[in-house]
Structure 1
Amino acid sequence: MQNSIHQEIDIETSDKTKINDVDFNNLDFGKKFIDHMFYCDYIDGAWQQPKIVPYQPMTIEPSARVLHYGQAVFEGMKAYKDDDGKAFLFRPEDNHRRINISAARLAIPEFPKDYFMEGLTTLMKMDKDWIKPGIGNSLYIRPFVFAIEPAISAAPAQAYRFMIICSPAKAYYTGKVRVLFAETYSRSANGGVGFAKAAGNYAAQFYPTSLAQKKGYQQIIWTDASSHEYLEEAGTMNIFFRINDTLVTAPISDRILDGITRKSIIQLAEDNNIKVDVRRVTVSEIKEAARNGSLKEIFGTGTAAVISPISAFEHSEEVFEIPDQDDAYATLFKKYLLNIQHNLSDDKHGWRYEIK
């Protein structure tokens, strides 16, 4: 149980803004950053004074444990703005809950909810001009925590830094995505950290993903580590399969991230009387559905990507093209989700969080 902590944020404002140097119509994802950043250190068994300062380089020791043992977890969130200038977050308490679940798995102390929410909303209010209105525009928010204690003995650190940095964003993927079903490499294993947003999960994916990219694929859909028979998730996305008019997706587990966009899509499907089967999905089932025409769609979901239709997949040197659908669920759900996030439709589930 976390104690409630009430402590004002120490704020240092930037002398000038960088916003006028940014071309918001031509953004490379994650390359430009807003004027300020939030951080808070964990020292002597307690989280210290939270601070917001100008975005800047920081100094850590070469012996910082994160550089040697990988104690680092992160989250992905977005802020949106409507045409009236109101700014919103989407399900931020879920992100706070999940980063603490990830942190606990890596023996990192949990971050207090009031620090998180106050730091996040204060940062958003300070740099609100970086959140641009309009569908397709957003501010990507990256909370993360890592071990800063200078020590190279193999043990959990005694000091950490929690930070929030933000980057203006457009679409993560443009166009449809082609994927490779994993046959050799694995993303995670039973009892591991696959359910956590641990930095090392993503580092371990880069090499096999680079091999897939050389073959013309943007992503890998990972299979279970023991048999490579079951489809689980992609590198940056949860995965949905539409077989006839039923959506199928793998259940969350200690190998699969509990995606916030994934949960939202399942709820939106139920709201629209679309059947959802949450169950294990085999490679052979999807290949057979592709052959007999019952596989209508595959799409990925995630904060950065939102919803990305998949146009083709390869397995065992066999390529399956997925034809376009006039009634694509991916298109439908993306519209519903973006309309909620941008305050263009009702939000009956209370997902939208206004920054006031």
Structure 2
Amino acid sequence: MITRSLTHSRSNSMAAFGTQFTAKMVTSRFRDGQWSDLEVVPVEPFSMHPATHVLHYASECFEGLKAYRTESGDIHLFRPDRHVERMLNSASQLLLPVPDRAALTRALHMAVAAVAEEIPAYPGALYLRPTLLGTEEDIGAAARPTQKALFYVLTSPVGDYFSGGLQPLRVKVDDKAQRCTPSFGAVKTGGNYAAAMRQIVQAKQELGTDQVLFAPGGVIQETGAANFILIDDKELLTKPLDGSILPGVTRDSILALAADAGLTVRETDFTVAELLQRAPGAEAALTGTAAVLTPVGELVYEGETIRVGDGQMGPWSAQLREQLCAIQSGASEDPHGWRVTLES
């Protein structure tokens, strides 16, 4: 078990999330039908030929997860198995070569161990970004998968995502735009984020919203970067995993804790009309790795603003967020076995 002195921890007063990095990362390359050994190397720019596959055909996927330091100094990853599983699925959908499950898991542990001294105390954490890129030099390969690839794990010490205080979000409900290709929503690839960006930026400029809740055809899906849940009368509603939304690990964790707490969890399609009808007496929230669970205070639909509940974080949302954060930080028991302690 790896334990480090807390005197080496960085302050939680840090640069903006995702802009500060450690000096080491883990890499492996695929060529001639096999992956090279995983290596810990310095973080430095990659050199790529202008014809590199990923630059032309978006052959890439990634993950985002965290490692935490407990008060005693122990270090653990939160649900790495689910992130490994999701990366394997993303790579399969993109026809990318990918290291096997054991190698992906080992890479995560190597990346954390290599920079253990840089992991800040909670509510800080070490954010891990495993990434897979197609690197074949061939602009004629538009209709076939890359024969070369690069896998790496970049790490970033992060502070409290809400260092200025947790504030309810203002979210536009869009029943016309698609977040991404309908059957490709379960893939964690940059193209899906790029597809949603224009709607998010436009809504922020025109309506002062923080995010867009995509609901093509009037059926609620998710926002551009997080899953969506609605809690009303001891019932939690969320879109089922039908391939159109990302199978969020935080989403899955919140659903499990909600069921433990006595909420009826319904993974079912529900409409914009139902959301707007329930919103004044309900709670709504976004779930994701970076922000855990963030309340939605206002919905904007066709120019009209609808307040969710009293516009603040509701009691169920607060309870679920507190429970999950306590498990992640090591401050409470881990009944579902989600913490994976880093071994020396």
Same fold? TM cut 0.5: yes
Look up the equivalent residue of 1:233 and give its one-letter code.
E
Matched, 1:257 2:243: no
1:151 to 124, 133, 138: 138
2:64 to 54, 64, 76: 76
Deviation at 1:190, TM superposition (A): 3.3
Give secondary structure in 2 for the equivalent of 1:231.
Answer: coil
Tell me if structure 1 keeps the 8 A contact 2:298–2:306: yes
Deviations 1:180-218 (A, max 9, x none): 011332112433x11100110011111111001112111
Q: Which runs of 4+ in 1 moved over 3 A?
A: 171-174, 324-327
Deviation at 1:127, TM superposition (A): 0.7
C-alpha distance in structure 2 between counterparts of 1:74 and 1:304, whole Å: 14
1:63 to 42, 46, 51: 51
Deviation at 1:51, TM superposition (A): 1.2
Q: Which residue of 2 aligns with 1:288?
A: 277
Deviation at 1:221, TM superposition (A): 0.6
Matched, 1:185 2:177: yes
Tell me if structure 2 keeps the 8 A contact 1:73–1:198: yes
Say how many residue pairs are matched: 329
Q: Within 5 Å, give how 1:222-241 maps onto structure 2.
A: 222-224=214-216, 227=217, 229-241=218-230
2:324 to 337, 343, 347: 337
1:328 to 312, 315, 331: 315
Deviation at 1:23, TM superposition (A): 6.0
C-alpha distance in structure 2 between counterparts of 1:236 and 1:209, whole Å: 10
Matched, 1:313 2:282: no
TM-score, normalized by length of structure 1?
Answer: 0.89
C-alpha distance in structure 2 between counterparts of 1:321 and 1:129, whole Å: 44
Tell me if structure 2 keeps the 8 A contact 1:171–1:304: no
Give secondary structure in 1 for the equivalent of 2:213.
Answer: strand
Look up the equivalent residue of 2:300 and give its one-letter code.
E
Tell me if structure 2 keeps the 8 A contact 1:40–1:50: yes
Deviations 1:215-240 (A, max 9, x none): 2111001113xx2x111111111100
C-alpha distance in structure 2 between counterparts of 1:123 and 1:257, whole Å: 25
Deviation at 1:27, TM superposition (A): 2.3
Measured at CA, do residues 325 and 315 of structure 1 come closer, stay the same or move farther in structure 2, by a change above 3 Å?
Answer: closer
TM-score, normalized by length of structure 2?
Answer: 0.92
Look up the equivalent residue of 2:185 and give its one-letter code.
G
C-alpha distance in structure 2 between counterparts of 1:78 and 1:241, whole Å: 25
Tell me if structure 2 keeps the 8 A contact 1:182–1:220: yes
Which ranges in structure 1 are unaligned for 5 or more consecutive residues? Answer: 1-18
Query: How much identity, in percent, do the aligned residues show?
Result: 30
Give secondary structure in 1 for the equivalent of 2:85.
Answer: helix
Q: Which residue of 2 aligns with 1:12?
A: none
Matched, 1:137 2:103: no
Q: Within 5 Å, give how 1:11-50 maps onto structure 2.
A: 24-50=12-38
Tell me if structure 1 keeps the 8 A contact 2:168–2:297: yes
Deviation at 1:24, TM superposition (A): 3.9
C-alpha distance in structure 1 between counterparts of 2:314 and 2:285, whole Å: 14
C-alpha distance in structure 2 between counterparts of 1:109 and 1:305, whole Å: 31
C-alpha distance in structure 2 between counterparts of 1:199 and 1:234, whole Å: 15
Give secondary structure in 1 for the equivalent of 2:156.
Answer: strand
Give secondary structure in 1 for the equivalent of 2:251.
Answer: helix
Deviations 1:301-321 (A, max 9, x none): 011121111110111111111
Q: Which residue of 1 aligns with 2:198?
A: 207
Deviations 1:237-280 (A, max 9, x none): 11000122211111011111111111111110111111111110
Look up the equivalent residue of 2:266 and give its one-letter code.
D
Measured at CA, do residues 148 and 50 of structure 1 come closer, stay the same or move farther in structure 2, by a change above 3 Å?
Answer: same
C-alpha distance in structure 1 between counterparts of 2:14 and 2:98, whole Å: 37
Measured at CA, do residues 326 and 341 of structure 1 come closer, stay the same or move farther in structure 2, by a change above 3 Å?
Answer: closer
C-alpha distance in structure 1 between counterparts of 2:182 and 2:296, whole Å: 27
C-alpha distance in structure 1 between counterparts of 2:202 and 2:59, whole Å: 27
Give secondary structure in 1 for the equivalent of 2:89.
Answer: helix
Q: Which residue of 1 aligns with 2:3?
A: none
Measured at CA, do residues 326 and 126 of structure 1 come closer, stay the same or move farther in structure 2, by a change above 3 Å?
Answer: closer
Tell me if structure 1 keeps the 8 A contact 2:296–2:313: no
Q: Which residue of 2 aligns with 1:13?
A: none
2:168 to 164, 169, 176: 176
Deviation at 1:170, TM superposition (A): 2.7
Q: Which residue of 1 aligns with 2:94?
A: 106
C-alpha distance in structure 2 between counterparts of 1:219 and 1:86, whole Å: 36
Give secondary structure in 2 for the equivalent of 1:186.
Answer: coil
Look up the equivalent residue of 2:319 and give its one-letter code.
L
1:217 to 209, 218, 221: 209
Look up the equivalent residue of 2:195 and give its one-letter code.
A
Which ranges in structure 2 are unaligned for 5 or more consecutive residues? Answer: 1-7
